[in-house]
Amino acid sequence: MLEVENLHAYYGKSHILQGVDLKIEAGEVVSLLGRNGVGRSTTVKAIMGEVPPQGTIRFKGTDIAGMQSFQIARLGLGYVPENRDIFPSLTVRQNLMLGIKDPRKPGRWRMDDMLQMFPNLAARADTAAGVMSGGEKQMLTMCRTLMGDPELIMIDEPTEGLAPLIVHQVGDLIAEIARRGVAILLVEQKLSIAMRISHRLYVMGHGRIVFEGTPSDLTNNASIRKEWLEV
């Protein structure tokens, strides 16, 4: 579904991505792990066209490198950025509405579904989204992207700075997304959720992929964990 080959990206003169290769099949749950500053977020931003990419990025057979973000999104690639960019002055319901790309073509996620699944979003459906807690904002950004009915959703650090109970809820939502057949690329620093739900994992170090395998492969590979993941 998504194939990235030899992806390079630069911030000014610094060479952030130095040839990233990764692949996600339809319906697959894949995690991209690694420490801060190794280029995980940049990889996702380059795929979405927010950082100019060099290399090949194919999504459902279309070369999307160099396309504009909104065109990439319309092909069915969803992106939840790490900064929880909700629209603070709009209500929760309006935020969700803006996730819909074409109101005439409803997708597999409906407004009512969403509100039913998340009682705390429903309770605040008509209040300004800016006053919600970090966990609620995280839920809202994920739900909002789902309203656009993506076939692959890329989620950047969904659990960063959240309380353990909320982290668990975020994990449940990600599992539900996977259950409905949406492929997931989860960018994470913590191992817990990634190990629980991923089919495959990539570990990044210094702008490259340094490991690829299943969660049990990673459990058995102490040297990779020690060198690239553990602090």
Partner 1 sequence: MLELIITSTLNGILFGMLLFLMASGLTVIFSMLGVLNFAHASFYMLGAFFGFQISRWVGFWPALFIAPLLAGALGAAVERFGLRRVHRNGHVAELLFTFGLAFAIEEVVQMIWGKSPVDFRIPPSLDFPAFSIFSTNYPAYKMFMLLVSIAIFVGLLVVLKKSRVGLIVQAALTHPHMVAHLGHNVERVFMLVFGVGTALAAVAGVIAGPALVTQSNMAALLGPILFVVVVVGGLGSLPGAFVASLLIGLVQTFAVSMNGSLAGAFGPLSPDYAQSWLSDIWGVTVAQIAPIMPYVLLVLILIFRPMGLLGTRET
Q: How many residues in the shown chain lie near partner 1 by CB under 8 A?
A: 24
> In this complex, which beta carbon is closest to partner 1, that of residue 16 or of residue 72?
72
Cβ atoms of 78 and 148 closer than 8 Å: yes
Piece of 5-13, 68-76, 110-118, 218-226 that binds partner 1 (CB under 8 A): 68-76
Tokens of 166: 């909320």
**d(C-alpha 136, C-alpha 80), whole Å:** 14
Cβ atoms of 30 and 13 closer than 8 Å: no
User: What letters, b where the CB count within 10 A reaches 16 and e where it falls short, cover 202-225?
Assistant: bbbbebebbbeeebeebeeeeebb
Give the shortest CB-91-to-partner 1 separation in angstroms.
10
Indicate whether 81 belongs to the interface with partner 1 (CB under 8 A): yes
Give the shortest CB-152-to-partner 1 separation in angstroms.
13
Indicate whether 131 belongs to the interface with partner 1 (CB under 8 A): no
Give the shortest CB-90-to-partner 1 separation in angstroms.
6
Piece of 16-24, 30-38, 86-94, 197-205 that binds partner 1 (CB under 8 A): 86-94
Give the shortest CB-129-to-partner 1 separation in angstroms.
10
Piece of 19-27, 114-122, 140-148, 223-231 that binds partner 1 (CB under 8 A): 140-148
Give the shortest CB-223-to-partner 1 separation in angstroms.
37
Binding partner 1 (rule: CB under 8 A), the pick from 5, 21, 28, 50 is: 50
Indicate whether 62 belongs to the interface with partner 1 (CB under 8 A): no
Binding partner 1 (rule: CB under 8 A), the pick from 23, 35, 60, 101 is: 101
**d(C-alpha 29, C-alpha 177), whole Å:** 10
In the three-class reduction of DSSP (H, G, I as helix; E, B as strand; rest coil), residue 117 is classed as helix
Question: Cα–chain-centroid distance for residue 220?
Answer: 26
Binding partner 1 (rule: CB under 8 A), the pick from 94, 120, 189, 221 is: 94
**d(C-alpha 135, C-alpha 46), whole Å:** 26
Three-state SS across 150-180? CCEEEEECCCCCCCHHHHHHHHHHHHHHHHC
Binding partner 1 (rule: CB under 8 A), the pick from 61, 70, 104, 165 is: 70
**d(C-alpha 137, C-alpha 187), whole Å:** 18
Q: Which residues bind partner 1 (CB under 8 A)?
A: 48, 50, 68-70, 73-74, 78-79, 81, 85, 87-90, 94, 97-99, 101, 103, 144-145, 148
